Amino acid sequence: MPRVYNFSAGPAILPEPVLAQAAADMMDYQGCGMSVMEMSHRSPAFQGIIDTAEADLRDLMGIPENYDVLFLQGGDSLQFAAVPMNLALAKHGVADYIVTGQWSKKAQQEAARFIDARIVATGAEDNFSHLPDCSDLPLSEDADYVYLCQNETVHGLRFAQLPDTKGKVLVSDQSSMFLSEPVDVSQFGLIHAGVQKNVGPAGVQIVIVRHDLVPEGDIDGVPVMMNYKTHVDKKSLYNTPPCWNIYMCGLVFKHLKELGGLEAVQKMNQEKAQLLYDAIDESALFKGVAAKEDRSMMNVCFVTGDADLDAKFAKEATAAGLTNLKGHRSVGGLRASIYNAMPRKGVEALIAFMKDFEVQNR
Ligand code: PMP
């Protein structure tokens, strides 16, 4: 079976050179006589892997010295609890949430179990079809942070510009846009991202946190594994990390550097997204779901307006080697996730298929 164009929202397509490197390393990683999956996380070989991965990520993103980089486990959903526990529980116990779709909503709901998690803006009334006005947010005086999801994977919305948080610490879930474009890390108190979209196999979350926000010691009721200090002190090796997944992330970081870094990656992503959105806008059958000014560069959501026809499209596309185009189960419709590793040729193949489908189903 030839490789398909995989438009899954995550776990998602990975760069072929990275998969080939992983295959080449599988039986014998650099003369160790074993694969990375089999080696001790305390071995010099793995220490080299995690140190290099961190250094390459710092280089790619230009992460300032006063930020810690953590490779964690538990699913990115665990960060919905870890963020309020670490950044608010032992302070004012208050945070302001911008709710723009499924993921920021889940984050707010989880935070509300531990702190006073206030919603300061929401797009819920319009089914999260566009971002709410964030030009003058009614922020809480005592908010320990302001939270947003910079790219909503399910609703296909992206913050092209960050809201004015009036000097408050900004926390961003970058899961579905991580490393898709340059970001100025110094604008954030904390960035978290699950790697299973743009970076590697599911099982790692990357947390980039400004050092002064890391708790100084134990926090009442917070498990040791949930305290960022534990992982900062032990450089992500407090317990057994997902070694192979971190190694895979490291290969992707190297690959992105070889492509020319995040500016070059952003350019490719912009071109791919433009091609696909143009095709949608020119079509008489397909319609984009998100407001034009808030469109995601990674998750392109569209519909035909007829759920049966959407299903037919996804089914026939799969047969043509264009897989995972069904929208998230909570919203239906169609979604093409075009992460870094999706080649332009894949987007072109999708557009050609859409045009053909439109002719057949007019
Ligand atoms: N945040 C965003 C933006 C996501 O898209 C996802 C998963 N798709 C999550 C958080 C949750 O990640 P996980 O499944 O690793 O818990």
Looking up residue 225, the CATH number of its domain turns out to be 3.40.640.10
Do the domain assignments include residue 141? yes
CB-count burial class (<10 Å; 0-12, 13-18, 19+) for 238: middle
245 plus 265 within the same structural domain: no
Neighbours of 212 (CB within 10 A): 9
pLDDT value at 303 more than 90? yes
- Give distance in angstroms: CA of 196 to centre of ligand 1: 9
105-120 pLDDT per residue, tens: 999 999 999 999 999 9
Instruction: Give the position, in ligand 1's atom list, of the atom nearest the Cα of 202.
Output: 15
Q: Which whole number is the average pLDDT over 136-161? A: 97
Number of separate domains in the chain: 2
179 plus 266 within the same structural domain: no
- Annotated catalytic residue, options 56, 96, 168, 197: 197
Q: Which whole number is the average pLDDT over 336-349? A: 98
Do the domain assignments include residue 188? yes
Residue 1: pLDDT band by 50, 70, 90 thresholds? confident
pLDDT at position 167, please?
Answer: 96
pLDDT value at 306 more than 90? yes
281 plus 246 within the same structural domain: no
Furthest CA-CA distance within the chain: 64
178-193 pLDDT per residue, tens: 999 999 999 999 999 9
55-104 pLDDT per residue, tens: 999 999 999 999 999 999 999 999 999 999 999 999 999 999 999 999 99
Torsion of CA 200, 38, 77, 161, to 10 degrees: -30
Residue 231 in 3-state DSSP? Answer: helix
85 plus 215 within the same structural domain: yes
- Nearest-angstrom CA–CA distance, 230 and 129: 39
Of 227, 258, 289, the residue that ends a domain is 258
Find out whether the beta carbon of 147 lies less than 6 Å from any atom of ligand 1: no
Instruction: Give the position, in ligand 1's atom list, of the atom nearest the Cα of 10.
Output: 8
pLDDT value at 270 more than 90? yes
Express as a percent the part of the chain with pLDDT over 90. 98
pLDDT at position 330, please?
Answer: 86
79 plus 164 within the same structural domain: yes
291 plus 241 within the same structural domain: no
Find out whether the beta carbon of 174 lies less than 6 Å from any atom of ligand 1: no
185 plus 243 within the same structural domain: yes
221-244 pLDDT per residue, tens: 999 999 999 999 999 999 999 999
197 plus 265 within the same structural domain: no
pTM across the whole model: 0.98
Of 208, 239, 258, the residue that ends a domain is 258
Q: Among residues 270, 322, 323, which one has the least CA distance to residue 298? A: 270
241 plus 278 within the same structural domain: no
Of 234, 258, 282, the residue that ends a domain is 258
199 plus 298 within the same structural domain: no
- Give distance in angstroms: CA of 197 to centre of ligand 1: 9
Whole domain around residue 333: which residue ranges?
260-360
189 plus 322 within the same structural domain: no
Do the domain assignments include residue 11? no
Residue 70's alpha-carbon distances to 232, 246, 354, in angstroms, are: 7, 11, 41
Is 227 annotated in a binding site? The answer is no
Do the domain assignments include residue 27? yes
197 is known as an active-site residue: yes
Residue 234's alpha-carbon distances to 210, 238, 315, 340, in angstroms, are: 16, 5, 48, 31
pLDDT at position 350, please?
Answer: 98
51 plus 175 within the same structural domain: yes
Do the domain assignments include residue 7? no
Q: Which whole number is the average pLDDT over 294-306? A: 97
Q: Supply the CATH number for residue 283's domain.
A: 3.90.1150.10
- CB 298, CB 154: distance < 8 Å: no
- CB 155, CB 331: distance < 8 Å: yes
Q: Which whole number is the average pLDDT over 186-205? A: 97
Q: Which whole number is the average pLDDT over 9-30? A: 97
Give 170-211 as a 3 state SS string.
EEEECCCCCCCCCCCHHHCCEEEEECCCCCCCCCCEEEEEEH
Do the domain assignments include residue 158? yes
